[in-house]
Structure 1
Amino acid sequence: TRTLASLFGPLQPMALAEDLAAPLLALPIPEGAADPAAAAGAPAAGPTVPDRFTVARGLAVVPVRGILTPNMAQYERWFGWATYHGVAETLAHLAASEDAAAIVLEIDSPGGLVCGIEAAAEAIAAVGAVKPVHALVSPLAASAAYWLASQATEIVMTPGAVAGSIGVALTAAAHVQPGANGAQIFEMSSRHARAKRPDASTEAGRAELQRSLDEAEAAFHAAVSAGRKIPAAELAARLSVTDDPQDGGATFRAPEAIRRGLADRTETRAAFYARLTARTAPKPRSPSRAFAARAAAAQAVARS
């Protein structure tokens, strides 16, 4: 049985806590998903914007779940997992919605691909300038998921929740001997595209892969620094589990995440929603105003 792990190839920079993602990656690909005939009859697009959120009492709730990808509509359909395109599209819609006074990103994700994440992160930050965006870590916001959470107005963690894993990684492989059938496999690129398929068995290849990872990490750190208002020069040290700033990438439970400036408070899910809906729910009209409104309506009917 093919699993979801088989759909993620090597050399893809991932902002993913692999240990926490293991149960999701081990899920079997749904029956019929790999069948061309079945795929031909499946809808091409993923969920529409209204299917990606709910609104109640002035509060919009956007689930951010699963392994995050740029626009994998199949994952949205099969598992309800979020995509960066879906998050950005939904946030743009809610920014203009009069029904939503505030937005909650309810996050349960070990992270995902780096490709495409910045558009979603920027969309969250942009909406936060218009109305509050609250990230609720319930119970996991790791790596790419934390990248998104860091752009919210506040980050709240439920008891026992985990956040962090700030960094980027990839898996690379190189051929070291002929295959079992005796054939030697060669991978080649055009003359001026050596960086297209870097060879991890060579120093030059590893240097190129490291450059790509460091570039992605720099963007990740810049987003966290701006979103959490942590000076860029201090961030690596805050994330490290030792005195060496290179020892970052760990996850933290709520008390430690708050101490390091990665979250604002811990709160039960019920208390969190009670606090927010107390602010966003429409205020009931006073009896005197309600009576006056009914009287005015009755007079208007009598005159007609």
Structure 2
Amino acid sequence: MDYPRLLGRLLNRAHLVTPDRARLMLGVLASRAGLSGFLVDDTSPQPEKLDVLAADWNGNRPDRKIYRVENGMAVLPVSGTLVSKLGVLDPWSGMTGYDGLMTKLGEALLDDDVKGIAFDFESPGGEVHSQLFELADMIAGSTKPTWAICSDYAYSAAYWLASQCDHITVPPNSGGVGSVGAVCLHTDMTKAYENAGVKVTVLRAGARKMEVNPYEELPPDVAKEIEAELEVLRISFAEQVAQGRGIDLKAVLATEARTINSDEALQIGFADELMTPSQAFAAFAAEISKPASGPAGGDTTAQHIGGSTMAQNKPTRGKRALADDLVPDDADAAEDDEEDDGGDAPEGGKKPSVKDETDAGDDEGDGKSAGARERKRIASIIGSNAAKGRGNLAQHFAFNTSMSVKDALAALAAAPKGGAGLADTMASAGNPDLSPSAPTPGEQQAVEASWASSFKRVAG
């Protein structure tokens, strides 16, 4: 095993993995300089390589399949740490490769014997890599029903993938999902080298060359940059979960990367049903065995959306919820028309990112999409020092207004910390009371909107 290469893939890079697994991986690498044993079991059979298996395939689709098919379901195991370019199809030595899952999913989508695709999850997450994003897009765009069946848990990057499926089941009592966040590990070996009598000198051409390394302390400004990048990644992750599950982005972010137990997952929309794995596989098999029906057959109790046929009389999330949101009823359409005619959207709801004049010079010609700029703006506001102790107001500025980062931080800095101080300030200004006895949450939103509006008038 190439120890330096594996260590390089683990350290100083963002990972979507639970902290426990991150510590485990680091501990194993740090204690095994030869890297034999735990991470790679040299006594286990060598897996078949992707290129070897690919050579067995031809245009006639041989009988041999690269996945297990049960009752019309292609079963794709997702277990252990998720990594890029593992080079094998199946989980091996505690790891599952994005590349193997992509290969199997692609074949299953073309296989006439496969009526649905079941992802069997038991994973704490893993590497951040373009293959993760590509695989998530493949699942979201599947033309066949997809279920995420948690044998136990699906955390972080694993939940990113699960959230793009049509349906998520979690076992009662022991199951878990979530951990919508990101982590980066940095090893500072300076003290250890000093104790060992070793002094490493880093010579640079370019002030920021190799600014993250184990031979020097991590500079505070570099640590802040990494934290900001992780926050952008967290927001992107949360956006995909919110879209895939059909739930509010703020509700996803409010979990603060916690691991969610099965009961809470059901309550907040992170899962659809509590089932043991055997129950879930049986339910999915029954679902895909139902004959497809539609207007032509006179039966409109089911329809095909996002690759999944689900009964209309059952509350659903995921792609169905998203599809429903994309088709507003007449009342919603009328409201949208009124908002378009009136210009600005109400402060109480989300509105498209509107580029502030003070930021115009920064955005022009940078090649970034509007979505990427908006994610960066949100991350800069809610992840700032000024947001500490003013979390609700920071989220209001980030999600419900188009304020620039500069204006939002100035407003946060001017606002008192804590609910009581803010209530006192608003009371002295003649605004509604924000104390616990406030009549309705709507009045609190009105106060926050008034605060933001007042600041924008003062700031010009």
Query: Could you say which TM-score interval applies, normalised by the shorter chain?
Result: 0.7 to 0.9
1:193 to partner: Cα distance = 4.8
Whether 2:85 is the aligned partner of 1:71: answer yes
What SS does structure 2 have at the residue aligned with 1:223? helix
Whether 2:285 is the aligned partner of 1:268: answer no
Return closer, same or farther for 1:143/1:228 CA change in 2, 3 Å cut-off. Answer: same
Checking the alignment, whether the CA contact within 8 Å between 1:107 and 1:140 is kept in structure 2 is: yes
What SS does structure 1 have at the residue aligned with 2:96? coil
Which residue does the alignment assign to 1:113?
Answer: 127
1:93-242 equivalences in 2 (<5 Å): 93-116=107-130, 117-127=132-142, 130-159=143-172, 160-177=174-191, 178-191=193-206, 193-194=208-209, 197=212, 201-237=218-254, 239=255
Distance 2:258 2:275 in 1: 22
Q: Deviations over 1:227-279 (max 9, x none)?
A: 11122233212x1xxxxxxxx11112211111111111101222222222223
Which residue does the alignment assign to 1:30?
Answer: 41
What SS does structure 2 have at the residue aligned with 1:137? strand
Q: How many residue pairs get matched?
A: 265
AA of the residue aligned to 1:11:
N
Checking the alignment, whether the CA contact within 8 Å between 1:30 and 1:78 is kept in structure 2 is: no
Distance 1:22 1:118 in 2: 24
Distance 1:170 1:249 in 2: 14
Identity %: 24
Return closer, same or farther for 1:139/1:273 CA change in 2, 3 Å cut-off. Answer: same
What SS does structure 2 have at the residue aligned with 1:68? strand
What SS does structure 2 have at the residue aligned with 1:166? coil
What SS does structure 1 have at the residue aligned with 2:125? strand
1:126 to partner: Cα distance = 1.2
Return closer, same or farther for 1:47/1:134 CA change in 2, 3 Å cut-off. Answer: farther
1:274-293 equivalences in 2 (<5 Å): 274-281=282-289
Checking the alignment, whether the CA contact within 8 Å between 2:150 and 2:277 is kept in structure 1 is: no
Checking the alignment, whether the CA contact within 8 Å between 1:52 and 1:62 is kept in structure 2 is: no
Q: Deviations over 1:23-58 (max 9, x none)?
A: 78752532379xxxxx9xx97647847765211221
Distance 1:47 1:211 in 2: 42
Which residue does the alignment assign to 1:16?
Answer: 17
Return closer, same or farther for 1:29/1:135 CA change in 2, 3 Å cut-off. Answer: same
Q: Deviations over 1:83-131 (max 9, x none)?
A: 111222222221222111111001011111112311111111111xx11
Bigger radius of gyration among the two: 2
Distance 2:86 2:141 in 1: 24
Return closer, same or farther for 1:75/1:105 CA change in 2, 3 Å cut-off. Answer: closer
Q: Deviations over 1:129-173 (max 9, x none)?
A: x11100001101011111110100010112221111111001113
Q: Which moved more, 1:271-280 or 1:202-211?
A: 271-280
Checking the alignment, whether the CA contact within 8 Å between 1:121 and 1:147 is kept in structure 2 is: yes
What SS does structure 2 have at the residue aligned with 1:179? helix
What SS does structure 1 have at the residue aligned with 2:229? helix
> Whose RCO is larger (CA < 8 A, sep 6+)?
1
Distance 1:67 1:46 in 2: 22
What SS does structure 1 have at the residue aligned with 2:10? coil
Which residue does the alignment assign to 1:299?
Answer: none
Distance 1:86 1:277 in 2: 24
Return closer, same or farther for 1:67/1:98 CA change in 2, 3 Å cut-off. Answer: same
Return closer, same or farther for 1:233/1:252 CA change in 2, 3 Å cut-off. Answer: closer
1:176 to partner: Cα distance = 3.8
The two structures have a TM-score, normalised by structure 1, of 0.74
CA-based RMSD:
3.5
What SS does structure 2 have at the residue aligned with 1:134? strand
Return closer, same or farther for 1:189/1:266 CA change in 2, 3 Å cut-off. Answer: farther
Return closer, same or farther for 1:21/1:46 CA change in 2, 3 Å cut-off. Answer: farther
- What are structure 1's unaligned runs of at least 5 residues? 34-38, 240-247, 284-304
Which residue does the alignment assign to 1:257?
Answer: 265
1:201 to partner: Cα distance = 2.8
1:78 to partner: Cα distance = 3.9
Distance 1:21 1:138 in 2: 21
What SS does structure 2 have at the residue aligned with 1:140? strand
Checking the alignment, whether the CA contact within 8 Å between 2:177 and 2:262 is kept in structure 1 is: yes
Q: Which moved more, 1:80-89 or 1:46-55?
A: 46-55
1:184 to partner: Cα distance = 1.8
